[in-house]
Amino acid sequence: MTRRAAVRGVGHYLPARIVPNAEFEATLETSDEWIRSRSGIERRHFAAEGEATSSMAAEAARAALADAGLQPGDIDAIIVATSTPDLTFPSVATMVQDRLGMTTGFAYDVQAVCAGFVFALANANGMILSGQAERVLVIGAETFSRILDWNDRGTCVLFGDGAGALVLEATTGNGLPSDRGILSVDLHSDGRYRDILYVDGGVATTGTAGVLKMQGKEVFRQAVEKLAETAHAALAKAGLEAQDVDWIVPHQANLRIIKATAQRMGLPMDKVVVTVQDHGNTSAASIPLALSVGKAKGQIKRGDLVVTEAIGGGLAWGSVVIRW
């Protein structure tokens, strides 16, 4: 028998405030048509005053626990993927642990920007396979509205806030691609590309949070190339091919990137879960948000083969193959 990390539950949270593209027209030289044509985004959610990454993460965690039929005390570990923590330290994960009333186990954050949830899943998978944990709550949560340059129409219209969570649980399989759970992981990074997507502040440099800076055309080119490659690599590790995939659940950054990646994989768009039009780019939250929405809509069902892939600042990128 083979030990696997299987999905037990999934959930998400979005702030109440919905910001349509038209809202930017009053302050920027932009339009709803301009934003839609370049990104596919129609609206996004922004956190309210007093709402933070930890509070959104905790709400998503509660939803995932409810979906799993579990209590906080059933969880051994919490991993939060975020680039927008409440504080420099302690970690958002420990804040979530406290908000859930969980006094056992351990909690920590992972930072790989938009690829953060993929890296967090890989961490959780490793802990379960090693026997370090039986159940891990994996969360992606971001408040990107707090690090945007509101005068830069090329970036501030692209991002949103939110959180998604997933409960992974140890199970056993036969060591075959038909097993439920995480079947393979493929991770990469290359610091030579750090200047094409970054935030221009930090504790050790400016002492400020800074704002997001992006070379959009270069990020697009790198994303299309690297996302298809990592997805194919992860499938090969699992002994599978693209035609075996039921659903691609990509990082929701840009509809053109999503379409180009699917095309490179030889898969139709009706096999892709797309939420970017409603949420914008929620960075590390985008994949768990899309997984939760996909399940709620009846798209993702037990036994489906799901490929998640993402790329973010660093550059850091990777993919995970999951039998739901």
**Active-site residue set:** 114, 251, 281
What 3-state class would DSSP assign to 253? coil
- The DSSP secondary structure of 107-169, one letter per residue, reads EEEE--GGGHHHHHHHHHHHHHHHTS-SEEEEEEEEEGGGG--TT-TTTTTTB-EEEEEEEEE
For residue 163, the one-letter residue type is A
Alpha-carbon gap, residue 64 to 52, rounded angstroms: 19
Q: Are 165 and 176 in contact (CB under 8 A)?
A: no
Q: Are 212 and 195 in contact (CB under 8 A)?
A: no
Q: Are 205 and 179 in contact (CB under 8 A)?
A: no
What 3-state class would DSSP assign to 7? strand
Q: How many angstroms from the chain centroid is the CA of residue 314?
A: 15
Closest CA to 39 of 217, 269, 253, 275: 253
- The DSSP secondary structure of 101-123, one letter per residue, reads T--SSEEEEE--GGGHHHHHHHH
According to DSSP, the residues that pair with 173 across neighbouring strands are: 2
Write out the two tokens for 218: 């270069």
Closest CA to 108 of 125, 96, 126: 96
